[in-house]
Amino acid sequence: MEDNSTSEIPNDSDPEAHTSNSQKKRGRPKNMLWDNHFKEINPHGDGHKGWECLYCKGQNSRATDLNMNTHLALNCKKVPVNIKQELLRNFPVPNQKRKTKTELDIITSAQPRIDSKFQVISKLDAGQEELCHKALTRFFVCCGIPFWIVEHPFFLDFCKNLCASYKPPDRKTLSNDWLSFETARITVTMEKELQNENNLTL
């Protein structure tokens, strides 16, 4: 008996099949934190993904790996202790990718600036750059220095004269990303020290 049935094979020339394929989700895979700790929200209806914490119902309209980790490790009051400690121990190292305002000024301005004479001699390795960022964060926080200073041309000139290959983070990265990272690191260090102490009283 002859079988007249046909298998459903997508046809590249079929506009419906093309539309169906183009509607598949693209982009970066979701952070693992989404699975058990956050739910996705879109408060502004503009296509940008936000999050709501499943423990305290706190929200953020712009979801990033760093602000999700920061919320659970440092800010959320209802997250289980074991989860908080695990996130503190594995807090992500910030990665600065955006250009600073000073860099953009140099690129777009024809007028020579004090910054424009900087020349990178040799690029710092990742470990040395991380140590510099940590020290810079402690310096700004412990001395009460405004974060906008980190983008001032004279401060950049000072840094470049000390180490020509060191590129300080912009003030947003310093005040948000590196401050959260250093806070998490210090919290873990303090907890380890307290665990080794005896006869502690409140």
Q: Does 140 map to a domain?
A: yes
Q: How much is the mean pLDDT over the chain? A: 75
For the stretch 166-196, what's the b/e string if a residue is b when 16 or more beta carbons lie within 10 angstroms of its beta carbon?
bbbbbbebbbbbbbbbbbbbebbeeeeeeee
Start-end of H helices in 7-100: 15-22, 65-70, 81-89
179 with 113, same domain? yes
75 with 129, same domain? no
115 with 165, same domain? yes
Q: Does 12 map to a domain?
A: no
Cα three-residue angle 47-78-50, rounded to 5 degrees: 5
- Nearest-CA neighbor of 179 among 32, 74, 103, 65? 74
47 with 132, same domain? no
Q: How many domains does the chain have?
A: 2
Q: Does 4 map to a domain?
A: no
Q: Residues 145-168: what's their mean pLDDT?
A: 88
57 with 108, same domain? no
Q: Residues 2-28: what's their mean pLDDT?
A: 47
Q: Which of 89, 115, 138 is at the close of a domain? A: 89
Domain limits at 35?
Answer: 30-89
Cα three-residue angle 166-182-148, rounded to 5 degrees: 55
**What is the value of pTM for the model shown?**
0.53
Q: Does 77 map to a domain?
A: yes
Task: Please report which confidence band the pLDDT of residue 153 belongs to, taking 50, 70 and 90 as the band edges.
Answer: very high
